[in-house]
């Protein structure tokens, strides 16, 4: 699948399509809401303009009426440069004198608006100089409506741009952790495949050799590879099915449990010429055996994995405190808090693993109220301490 690069982030086809869909829905819904608000604002402003215009034209009609009553010269009323136009009509609705922009007047309405102007119609009770209807036209309302439309359209455009930019940055914020997690999971899958490939290859070679001739060393290699695969599977299975597991608490000796784990990992430790020293006092706990086995196995496996060859691992249990000390690569202070997070690894290349062991350890400790601490120094080793309740 060919990836795309958006804003410095690599996106595959489905991710790019999802991003575009999100932006389209977000921006479209925002524009729809803004457009609705703009429409209602426009209607309200037009109603206000109509009311003000109506009052102005009514006042103008009164002035024209007074002028007609006092002055027989009506030509002074008409000024083509004014936005307010006047039309004088007789009782038969024929034009006497007019500078209106239209001859199509609705005499049945007092105040109305067409596409270009607002009109106010006054009928005199007693005609003056044969004038019975005074029509006032305000062309300014058309200009105000046009300006209002322009202002609303401009504000809507600016708001749309703002919402588009907000959507853009929201998308980047949403994509960043998703892509980081995707990269971590991708690396996890590659590491898992690599982690399983080594023991599987060893098993196949050993099995092919055993077809020809029985060899005790080959059997030990097969057993070692089987245990490595089993531990990898157990870690992945715990993460996948942990919510479905039923825990059953029972009393048992923690020391015996640790001895069993040490025995299980002897072959794996021997492959790196690592010696496991154990000083364990009897300590009875009431917990789920499977969970504690995963806890101990992951800590011992981790100690072996990150220890240098030809070194030793010390495991000490005194009362309710368990310490597992290795002589390995160590962990710097900045990474000591990160290693308990899922898929986080300190050593990205050299020692294998794929960053789920200590996440499992932390989860079991929290569930059973076990206090865990870490002391570590680069190139000298690490000590994990567990305080059981």
* Whether 239 and 190 share a structural domain: no
* Whether 154 and 7 share a structural domain: yes
Nearest of 254, 267, 364, 274 to residue 325 by alpha carbon: 274
Residue 387 pLDDT > 90: yes
Q: Which of 147, 178, 201 is the last residue of a domain?
A: 201
* Whether 73 and 168 share a structural domain: yes
* Whether 287 and 363 share a structural domain: yes
Phi, psi of 213 (to 5 degrees): -155, 135
Query: pLDDT: is 61 or 258 the higher one?
Result: 258
Residue 326 pLDDT > 90: yes
* Alpha-carbon gap, residue 343 to 325, rounded angstroms: 23
* Whether 228 and 336 share a structural domain: yes
* Whether 189 and 225 share a structural domain: no
* Whether 170 and 223 share a structural domain: no
Nearest of 65, 198, 184, 181 to residue 120 by alpha carbon: 65
pLDDT in tens, 116-168: 778 888 888 888 888 888 888 876 766 777 777 788 888 888 887 887 777 77
pLDDT for position 251: 92
Confidence bin at 240 (pLDDT 50/70/90) = low
* Whether 14 and 129 share a structural domain: yes
- The tally of domains found in the chain comes to 2
Q: Which residues pair with 131 in a beta bridge?
A: 128
* Alpha-carbon gap, residue 308 to 249, rounded angstroms: 36
Residue 346 pLDDT > 60: no
Q: Which segment of 81-85, 290-294, 344-348 scores lowest on mean pLDDT?
A: 344-348
Q: How many Cα atoms are found within 13 Å in the side-chain-facing hemisphere of 164?
A: 10
Q: How many Cα atoms are found within 13 Å in the side-chain-facing hemisphere of 381?
A: 16
Q: How many Cα atoms are found within 13 Å in the side-chain-facing hemisphere of 181?
A: 7
pLDDT for position 286: 93
pLDDT for position 350: 46
* Whether 184 and 236 share a structural domain: no
Residue 40 pLDDT > 70: yes
Nearest of 360, 325, 354, 324 to residue 340 by alpha carbon: 360
In SS3 terms, the chain reads as CCCEEECCEEECHHHHHHHHHHHHHHHHHHHHHHHHHHHHHHHHHHHHHHHHHHHHHHHHHHHHHHHHHHCCCCHHHCCCCCCEEEEEECCCCCEEEECCCCCCCCCCCCEEECCCCEEEEEEEEEEECCEEEEEEEECHHHHHHHHHHHHHHHHHHHHHHHHHHHHHHHHHHHHHHHHHHHHHHHHHHHHHHHHHHHHHHHHHHHHHHHHHCCCHHHHHHHHHHHHHHHHHHHHHHHHHHHHHCCCCEEEEEHHHHHHHHHHHCHHHHHCCCCEEEEEECCCEEEEEHHHHHHHHHHHHHHHHHCECCCCEEEEEEECCEEEEECCECCCCHHHHCHHHCCCCCCCCCCCCCCCCHHHHHHHHHHHCCCEEEEEEECCCEEEEEEECC
Average pLDDT over the chain reads: 77
Are the CB atoms for 280 and 259 separated by under 8 Å?
yes
The verdict on residue 290 lying in a domain is yes
Which of 35-49, 77-91, 93-107 has the largest mean confidence? 93-107
Q: Residue 293 contacts by C-beta under 8 Å, 6 or more apart in sequence?
A: 257, 260, 261
The verdict on residue 207 lying in a domain is no
The mean per-residue pLDDT over the stretch 78-93 comes to 77
Q: What is the CATH number of the domain that holds 259?
A: 3.30.565.10
pLDDT for position 354: 43
Confidence bin at 3 (pLDDT 50/70/90) = very low
* Whether 237 and 137 share a structural domain: no
* Whether 8 and 132 share a structural domain: yes
Q: Which of 201, 232, 262 is the last residue of a domain?
A: 201
* Alpha-carbon gap, residue 128 to 77, rounded angstroms: 15
Domain coverage including residue 145? 1-201
pLDDT for position 103: 83
Phi, psi of 325 (to 5 degrees): -115, 130
- Regarding pTM above 0.85, the answer is no
The verdict on residue 208 lying in a domain is no
pLDDT for position 231: 64
The mean per-residue pLDDT over the stretch 12-28 comes to 71
The mean per-residue pLDDT over the stretch 98-102 comes to 82
Q: How many Cα atoms are found within 13 Å in the side-chain-facing hemisphere of 284?
A: 3
* Whether 127 and 148 share a structural domain: yes
pLDDT in tens, 203-230: 656 666 665 566 666 566 666 666 666 6
pLDDT for position 378: 87
Are the CB atoms for 163 and 31 separated by under 8 Å?
yes
For residue 370, CA distances in Å to 185, 287, 364, 366, 382 come to 28, 11, 8, 6, 19
The mean per-residue pLDDT over the stretch 44-62 comes to 76
pLDDT for position 17: 73
């Amino acid at each position: 699948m060919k990836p795309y690069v958006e804003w410095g982030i690599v996106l595959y086809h489905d991710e790019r399509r999802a991003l575009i869909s999100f932006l389209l829905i977000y921006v479209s819904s925002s524009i729809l809401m803004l457009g609705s608000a703009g429409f209602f604002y426009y209607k309200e402003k037009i109603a206000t303009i109509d009311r003000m215009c109506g009052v102005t034209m009514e006042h103008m009609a009164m002035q024209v009426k007074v002028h007609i009553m006092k002055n027989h010269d009506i030509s002074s009323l008409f000024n083509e440069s004014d936005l307010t136009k006047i039309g004088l009509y007789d009782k038969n609705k024929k034009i006497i004198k007019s500078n209106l922009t239209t001859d199509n007047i609705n005499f049945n309405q007092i105040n109305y608006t067409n596409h270009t102007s607002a009109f106010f119609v006054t009928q005199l009770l007693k005609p003056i100089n044969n004038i019975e209807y005074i029509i006032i036209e305000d062309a300014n309302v058309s200009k105000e409506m046009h300006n209002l439309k322009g202002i609303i359209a401009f504000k809507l455009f600016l708001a749309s741009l703002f919402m588009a930019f907000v959507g853009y940055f929201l998308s980047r914020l949403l994509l960043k952790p998703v892509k980081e997690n995707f990269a971590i999971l991708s690396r996890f899958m590659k590491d898992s495949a690599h982690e399983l490939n080594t023991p599987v290859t060893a098993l196949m070679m050993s099995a092919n050799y055993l077809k020809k001739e029985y060899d005790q060393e080959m059997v030990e290699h097969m057993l070692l590879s089987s245990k490595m695969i089993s531990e990898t599977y157990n870690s992945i299975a715990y993460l996948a099915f942990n919510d479905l597991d039923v825990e059953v608490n029972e009393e048992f000796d923690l020391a015996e449990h640790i001895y069993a784990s040490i025995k299980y990992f002897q072959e794996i430790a021997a492959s790196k010429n690592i010696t496991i020293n154990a000083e364990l006092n009897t300590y009875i706990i009431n917990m789920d055996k499977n969970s504690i086995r995963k806890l101990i196995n992951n800590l011992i496996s981790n100690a072996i994995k990150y220890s240098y060859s030809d070194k030793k691992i010390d495991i000490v249990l005194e009362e309710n405190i368990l310490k597992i000390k290795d002589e390995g690569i160590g962990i710097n202070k900045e990474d000591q808090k990160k290693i308990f997070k899922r898929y986080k690894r300190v050593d990205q290349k050299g020692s294998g693993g794929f960053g789920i062991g200590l996440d499992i350890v932390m989860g079991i400790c929290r569930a059973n109220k076990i206090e865990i601490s870490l002391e570590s120094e680069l190139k000298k080793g690490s000590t994990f301490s567990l305080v059981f309740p």
